[in-house]
Amino acid sequence: MALLERKVSLVKYVSGGLLACHIVCHLMSTTVDPAEESLRLNNTYRTPRPTFDRTQHDHVIVELYCSLCGVTVSGHARHCRACNKCVAGFDHHCPWLNNCIGSRNYWWFFSTVASAAAWLLWMVAILVLIVGEYHKNPAVLRTDPHYENMDSETI
């Protein structure tokens, strides 16, 4: 009985820790603004800007100047069509986070994905442990006080 209680305690703390880590990483990857530094300092990207129209322009950024944002950008910046702003070190626009992933929040995005994968693997390991315990001895899993007054015929 004490061994099972220690396992449950370990499961609660590790699951809670992984979930808390995932929540923090998720919040940070969505709240860190990946916009180009010159755009953030200019603070004009909070006002509406014209959207990119391929019929009028071949490229938005020409010679390190974004015609939509109206700022000079670095060589690694790209203009995101979904967010309509220049992103430093643009990697992709993540539809699940509804945010661009760039050099400023890439580590947080990677940590979000890694913590979700770690939490998923942890839950699969717990499931395998529970199924293994059930097949070995089903009575071990019946530690709740409601099972004390039951016999094998009512279960």
Residues contacting 64, CB < 8 A, separation 6+? 72, 73, 74, 75
Task: Residue 126: count other Cβ atoms within 10 Å of its Cβ.
Answer: 14
Which residues, listed in sequence order, are joined to residue 87 by a DSSP beta bridge? 35, 78
Average pLDDT, rounded, for the chain: 81
CA distance 14 to 73: 43
pLDDT of residue 79 exceeding 70, the answer is yes
CB 86 within 8 A of CB 36: yes
* pLDDT confidence band for 17 (50 / 70 / 90): very high
Say whether 94 is catalytic: yes
29-60 pLDDT, tens per residue? 999 988 888 777 776 666 777 776 667 666 77
* pLDDT confidence band for 118 (50 / 70 / 90): very high
What pTM did the predictor assign? 0.74
Q: What percent of the chain has pLDDT over 90?
A: 30
pLDDT of residue 1: 42
Q: What percent of the chain has pLDDT over 70?
A: 77
Per the residue annotation, which of 69, 80, 86, 94 is the catalytic one?
Answer: 94
CB 71 within 8 A of CB 40: no
